[in-house]
Amino acid sequence: MNSKLSRRNFLKGVTAAGTVFAVPAIIPFSVFGANAPSNRVALGHIGVGGQGGGVMNGMLHLEESQILAVCDCFSDRRESRAKTVNDYYAAKREKGSYKSCEAYRDFREMLARSDIDAVVIATPDHWHVPAAVLAVRAGKDVYVEKPLGISIAEDKLMREVIHKYGAIFQYGTQQRCFNQHCGFACELVRNGYLGELKAIHVIAPNGATGGNQGPQPVPEGLDYDMWLGPAPVKPYTTDRVVGGGRWHIYDYALGFIAGWGAHPLDIAHWGYPHIPVEYEGTGLIPKDGLFDTIVDWDVKGRYASGVEFTLKPGGDKTTFVGTEGWIAPSRGTITAEPETLLKIKIKPDEIHLLQDVHHYRNFLTAVKTRRNPASDIDSAVQSDFISQLGDIAIRTGRKIKWNLVKETIVGDKDAARMMNRARREPWGII
């Protein structure tokens, strides 16, 4: 067998032949090389800051994975994370030292490695789709943190590339596995236990205002040009790059309407796999300070079926309202009326949604089996469309109408142009 044959291509070939169940549980070690034994997925991590570091640690402690590379624009961050990985594997092997994890400044060098099966992308939002698209084109599967893109065009491109290359995609909406009660609520909706669905109400934490605009020296060890990537060139300031400020700057994100809204919107789409066809809303675009994404949003919409939809700031909850009651799952709790809904047992022949109770393991399993994980690309794109269209409705101040078949805004050319954004070269991948 060709020594360059990857695990992914081998399994895809077997799946195509219709004999995936015949793949042995342990494939000879020599088939995939020393860095990718058959029971592990070789990973590279792009973006290993706060959220990225947390996801990395989650993957690190799973027997199904082997982390071979980390990448970050901050030198101290990437070196520290690489050391964490190497120290962990050294301790597991009971050796004084061990070095298998390399640190990279430029993620393209990581993607050039043939021994990496999949990459985990937890960069600032404006890098999610560009990095993931290039990863898939390089032959990798991808785990991408939420939200997906910073434009509808980016979302569409991500989906197109995933399907074209047959890549596995897992969205970083961890509630589909880690919060089992969310899946249970969606199963009740899908199986008709609420009767006829009438409305879906989503709330997500509000955005932030403020942020220091004053230019500051670029810290030593930060590749600021790479951090900006496809975004416009702007002077460095700590609030732009360090901490959560980047989540509230329109050059890099849509704000919490998408960044946090992705979680309850994902549950809304999981329980009712459609998106509204009409959107209108109000909100505040801050004028003072660095942060300029929408806060205090109030979005109202309607599905083609007539089901009503709202998206407002508040906690973190999705409420499904039907003719026979309502159910409201959030990250930590689930409530319902009548409460007897919570005691229902889903029958064996009904719709079951839960795949795994561990979101990261669910991704690794999907990479090995070539089956869609819990948070697949099609659902990710659809739920992200909702926040994108709500944002456009607020910014235009007009009702937005969405064509489900053509996937475009109709009757408003100016609003339709907002479905895409300009990108700084050489990152104009759309």
Q: What percent of the chain has pLDDT over 70?
A: 90
Choice between 30 and 146, residue whose per-residue pLDDT is larger: 146
In the three-class reduction of DSSP (H, G, I as helix; E, B as strand; rest coil), residue 280 is classed as: strand
Phi, psi of 216 (to 5 degrees): -135, 160
Which residues, 6+ apart, have CB-to-CB distance to 14 below 8 Å?
20, 22, 23
Give per-residue pLDDT as tens, 295-341.
Answer: 999 999 999 999 999 999 999 999 999 999 999 999 989 999 999 99
User: Is residue 391 within a helix (H) or strand (E), and if so which, with residue range?
Assistant: helix 377-396
pLDDT the model gives residue 428: 84
Choice between 177 and 19, residue whose per-residue pLDDT is larger: 177
Q: How far is CA 372 from CA 28, 77, 123, 248, 262, in A?
A: 25, 32, 23, 32, 19
What's the pLDDT band for 99 if we cut at 50, 70, 90? confident
pLDDT the model gives residue 353: 97
pLDDT at 228 over 50: yes
Q: What is the mean pLDDT of residues 241-261?
A: 95
What's the pLDDT band for 96 if we cut at 50, 70, 90? low
Q: What percent of the chain has pLDDT over 90?
A: 87
Give per-residue pLDDT as tens, 124-182.
Answer: 999 999 999 999 999 999 999 999 999 999 999 999 999 999 999 999 999 999 999 99
Q: How many CA atoms lie within 13 A of 180 on its CB side?
A: 7
pLDDT at 10 over 50: no
**Which residues partner with 102 through β-bridges?**
69
pLDDT the model gives residue 98: 73
Closest CA to 119 of 130, 111, 129: 111
Instruction: Return the C-alpha torsion angle 106, 109, 115, 120, nearest 10.
Output: 30
Q: With a threshold of 0.85, does the pTM exceed it?
A: yes
pLDDT the model gives residue 430: 60
Question: What is the average pLDDT value for the chain, to the nearest integer?
Answer: 91
pLDDT the model gives residue 37: 52
Phi, psi of 34 (to 5 degrees): -65, -30
Q: What is the mean pLDDT of residues 48-56?
A: 96
Choice between 415 and 26, residue whose per-residue pLDDT is larger: 415
In the three-class reduction of DSSP (H, G, I as helix; E, B as strand; rest coil), residue 369 is classed as: helix
pLDDT at 30 over 60: no
Give per-residue pLDDT as tens, 371-416.
Answer: 999 999 999 999 999 999 999 999 999 999 999 999 999 999 999 9
What's the pLDDT band for 32 if we cut at 50, 70, 90? very low
For the chain, list the domains and their CATH numbers.
7-175 (3.40.50.720), 179-348+377-417 (3.30.360.10)
Closest CA to 68 of 59, 76, 77: 59
Which residues, 6+ apart, have CB-to-CB distance to 331 below 8 Å?
175, 179, 263, 316
